[in-house]
Amino acid sequence: MRMIDFRSDTVTRPTDGMREAMARAVVGDDVFDEDPTVHELEERMAGLLGKGAGLFVASGTMANLVAILSHAGRGDEMIIGDLSHTFLYEVGGAAALGGVHPHVLANLDDGTMALDEIESAIRDAADVHMPLSRLICLENTHNRCGGVILPTGYAASIATLAARHGLLLHLDGARLFNAAVALGVPPAELAASFDSVTVCLSKGLGAPIGAVLCGDRAFIERARRNRKMVGGGMRQVGILAAAGLYALDHHVERLADDHANARRLAEGIGEIEGLSSHQADASPGAGWTNLVYFDIDGEAVGDPQLDAAALAERLQRRGVLAIPLGRNRNRMRMVTHLDVESSDIDAAIDALRSAVAGT
């Protein structure tokens, strides 16, 4: 049985063309700053984001960590959302390794934090009892808020607030290209307000590994040192950078297919009794991308044992992989990506309907 894997857009496998590009890559020792393919990727991504320089790292988690370490010191504070990937899923690295204190605010459904709450969270630098506020971290698209795109103009408003208080602004843009394609705008437009931006190559873009951190040249020089400090100095890594370049050439515009598939999936889920997704009722262009979150109500179908874990197990027996959402026993996420075809959406909806019915 072929398994259709909706667990994440990180599960994609390199295409034949990507493998060929990796095999042909011209390489050098990147710790000596001598890998020409890495240079090309860093310069290309920096140009796409409108920044002065880029730094290739092993993962989005490493990119966010290196960015925070390069912006803030021990005892400084970053303002961050309670549903952000950096706060929830990056092992507390900024605090553990950098001593950077997270000041956590509630994320709203659209991925934002309230402007007045951010302003209230900024510390009085004259008060010796308080940590110094240094950094505000945002996420676009926002994973735990459903893969939603930050509202137009929000980043510029935060940048104005940050500048007024002398704070820096970092964007976890792991899926930033999804947002750019969905909005039909250049990624640089979405990155313009930020001092640093992370883009993950191994999510929607379909590369096997890697992320690029971008900012001005002085920031990237600090980041290069911090990358080395956290164990991220790599050698003939142009083999991997070549996959990122191939993805930028071939896998950006096709993200629109993932968004269309996700919308069809959400609509299908919305038609199954016992399942509900507010994405199913959203109008086209409402800001959803390739992530579909939905809730399970076993009581509604006379099956009180049906929760996310049970549904995931039933789906697996039907050739579909999906994951429950952490400790929320009644919520599940499914993600469309490069390895999910249009016909797989119909198969997944049929599997969900059968699994919920227990047939």
Tell me the C-alpha distance between 210 and 349, whole Å.
32
* Predicted local distance difference test score (pLDDT) of residue 325: 85
Triad 199, 200, 205: Cα angle to 5°: 110
Band the pLDDT of 278: cuts 50, 70, 90: confident
* Predicted local distance difference test score (pLDDT) of residue 358: 86
- Same domain? For 168 and 301 the reply is no
Tell me the C-alpha distance between 269 and 279, whole Å.
10
Q: Is position 304 within any domain?
A: yes
The residue from 235, 250, 265 where one domain ends is 250
Tell me the C-alpha distance between 210 and 115, whole Å.
32
- Same domain? For 286 and 206 the reply is no
Tell me: pLDDT of 126 over 80. yes
Q: DSSP assignment of 189-216, as one string?
A: HHHTT-SEEEEESSSTT--SS-EEEEE-
**Across residues 351-357, what is the average pLDDT?**
96
* Predicted local distance difference test score (pLDDT) of residue 283: 61
* Predicted local distance difference test score (pLDDT) of residue 286: 62
* Predicted local distance difference test score (pLDDT) of residue 57: 98
- Same domain? For 277 and 236 the reply is no
Count of domains observed in the chain:
2
Q: Supply the range of the domain harboring residue 224.
A: 16-250
Contacts of residue 192, defined as CB under 8 A and 6 or more positions apart, other chains included, come to 50, 155, 156
- Same domain? For 301 and 160 the reply is no
- Same domain? For 65 and 158 the reply is yes
The residue from 250, 283, 309 where one domain ends is 250
- Same domain? For 284 and 138 the reply is no
Of residues 158, 136, 10, the one with CA closest to residue 84: 136
Percent of the chain with pLDDT over 90: 92
Mean pLDDT of the chain: 95
Tell me: pLDDT of 52 over 90. yes
* Predicted local distance difference test score (pLDDT) of residue 288: 87
- Same domain? For 179 and 308 the reply is no
Q: Is position 7 within any domain?
A: no
Q: Is position 311 within any domain?
A: yes
Q: Is position 263 within any domain?
A: yes
- Same domain? For 263 and 292 the reply is yes
* Predicted local distance difference test score (pLDDT) of residue 14: 97
Q: Is position 5 within any domain?
A: no
Tell me: pLDDT of 165 over 90. yes
Band the pLDDT of 272: cuts 50, 70, 90: very high
E strand segments, 101-144: 101-105, 133-139
* Predicted local distance difference test score (pLDDT) of residue 5: 98
Q: Is position 95 within any domain?
A: yes
pTM for this structure? 0.95
Residue range 279-289, pLDDT digits in tens: 766 665 568 89
- Same domain? For 139 and 278 the reply is no
Q: 45, 54 in Cβ contact below 8 A?
A: yes
What region, left, alpha or beta, does residue 166 occupy, with left being phi > 0 and alpha being psi -120 to 50 degrees? left
**Across residues 285-312, what is the average pLDDT?**
90
**Across residues 15-42, what is the average pLDDT?**
97
Percent of the chain with pLDDT over 70: 98
Residue range 71-108, pLDDT digits in tens: 999 999 999 999 999 999 999 999 999 999 999 999 99
- Same domain? For 170 and 190 the reply is yes
The residue from 250, 283, 299 where one domain ends is 250
287: number of Cβ within 10 Å: 22
Tell me the C-alpha distance between 61 and 74, whole Å.
19
The domain that holds 144 is classified in CATH as: 3.40.640.10
Of residues 333, 338, 312, 325, the one with CA closest to residue 259: 338
* Predicted local distance difference test score (pLDDT) of residue 148: 95
Q: What are the tokens at 144?
A: 């735990």
- Same domain? For 237 and 260 the reply is no
* Predicted local distance difference test score (pLDDT) of residue 223: 98
**Across residues 164-190, what is the average pLDDT?**
97
- Same domain? For 243 and 278 the reply is no
Q: Is position 321 within any domain?
A: yes
The amino acid present at 305, given as its one-letter code, is Q
* Predicted local distance difference test score (pLDDT) of residue 279: 77
Q: Is position 3 within any domain?
A: no
The domain that holds 272 is classified in CATH as: 3.90.1150.10
Integer CA distances (angstroms), 85 to 6, 65, 257, 320, 339, in order: 19, 12, 25, 25, 24
